[in-house]
A and B are shown apart, each in its own frame.
Chain A
């Protein structure tokens, strides 16, 4: 097989691949419309020692309310840092993080691949024609 025939074969196979692959790519890029929400999370944390006692095992009635005078618990004894950040209301979350993500199901990658494929095929085609013309003229 000479060089010219080899190049033509390569070119033809590229075009053939493009013809075969492009419908698959196009079909793959079209999908039904869908939408997805941001993640809604519930974080559970444990404080060692505290959560090991089942809540139900300590009846409320066994702790007389009057035994712990309200005034004996100073407000400052609850450090502010013990309140997790996530408990802050929604408005404190920057607006950009609260936007709904939406997908229309279209994937642009196959389209770009298809375009690149076409461009490469056209360039190869022109190159092959030019070379064959040169060869013919040199033969003449």
Chain B
């Protein structure tokens, strides 16, 4: 028997089987309406802003507007206003909120008045970058149809009275304190969220762009 005959035989068998089986499904039958479960992927949007301050005095001008960047004249012994405040945007999935802060010169700038709603997060397994600290908001921020403004992570930054007009005697006359918020879904991550946040903030690029 040649190959063509085998193929033809197989095709014929397949056709025959189909023609025999298909009519057997023609018995009385009924079907319900289909149930459709739509799975829409979740979304978390979080923002971080602070009160606009007067660059010369370092004091806030008013509660509004809130900005992404402030500039401060560095004066030894001065305490300036700086209150990074996360906002969880409406319709975000319930989440844990973290804020990472990078302070390049911890000996010159001290973060003051950390909010009661925020706790420092750290563990031995995660090596955070130079001057990086991570704070966690006390509770899960539940899903809401309105933007949720959380409390400020901290309120002031004090400048050391040993400041001599340059940063560590270098020619650089500018420094910065950067903050960024990170939120991760709360469901199924109760024991993992701190690790995720620390992983995220362990990457130095987080504060670069």
What's the minimum C-beta distance from B7 to chain A, rounded to whole angstroms?
13
What's the minimum C-beta distance from A90 to chain B, rounded to whole angstroms?
4
Q: B41 to A33, Cβ gap below 8 A?
A: yes
Q: B65 to A90, Cβ gap below 8 A?
A: yes
Q: B183 to A40, Cβ gap below 8 A?
A: no
* A26 and B177 alpha carbons, distance in the complex (Å): 38
Given contacts A41-B176, A42-B157, A51-B163, contact A32 B68 (CB under 8 A): no
Q: In the complex, which of the residues B65, B72, B181 contacts A89, with contact meaning CB atoms closer than 8 Å?
A: B65
Q: A51 to B196, Cβ gap below 8 A?
A: no
Q: In the complex, which of the residues B46, B166, B184 contacts A100, with contact meaning CB atoms closer than 8 Å?
A: B46
Q: A36 to B70, Cβ gap below 8 A?
A: no
Chain A, interface size: which category?
A: 35 or more
Give B67-87 as 1s and 0s: 1 = Cβ < 8 Å from A's Cβ atoms. 111111111111010101010
Query: Looking at the complex, which of B29-37, B89-97, B120-128, B129-137 is the stretch in contact with chain A?
Result: B89-97
Chain B, interface size: which category?
A: 35 or more
What's the minimum C-beta distance from B51 to chain A, rounded to whole angstroms?
11
Given contacts A33-B43, A35-B92, A44-B176, contact A52 B185 (CB under 8 A): no
Give B168-201 as 1s and 0s: 1 = Cβ < 8 Å from A's Cβ atoms. 0000011111111111110011001000100010
Chain A residues with CB under 8 A of B175? 43-44
Q: B73 to A86, Cβ gap below 8 A?
A: no
What's the minimum C-beta distance from A58 to chain B, rounded to whole angstroms?
10
What's the minimum C-beta distance from A115 to chain B, rounded to whole angstroms?
20
* A54 and B178 alpha carbons, distance in the complex (Å): 25
Which 6 pairs show the lowest CB-CB distances between chains A and B? A35-B44, A54-B77, A37-B48, A37-B181, A84-B71, A54-B161
Known: A90-B65, A104-B43. 17 other contacts (CB 8 A): A33-B93, A40-B69, A42-B177, A43-B69, A44-B71, A44-B72, A44-B174, A45-B174, A46-B174, A52-B76, A87-B54, A87-B70, A90-B52, A100-B47, A100-B89, A102-B44, A102-B45
24 contacts between A and B (CB under 8 A): A34-B200, A35-B92, A35-B182, A36-B183, A38-B47, A39-B180, A40-B49, A40-B50, A41-B178, A42-B80, A42-B176, A45-B71, A46-B73, A46-B166, A46-B173, A51-B75, A51-B76, A52-B163, A52-B165, A87-B52, A90-B66, A100-B45, A102-B45, A104-B41
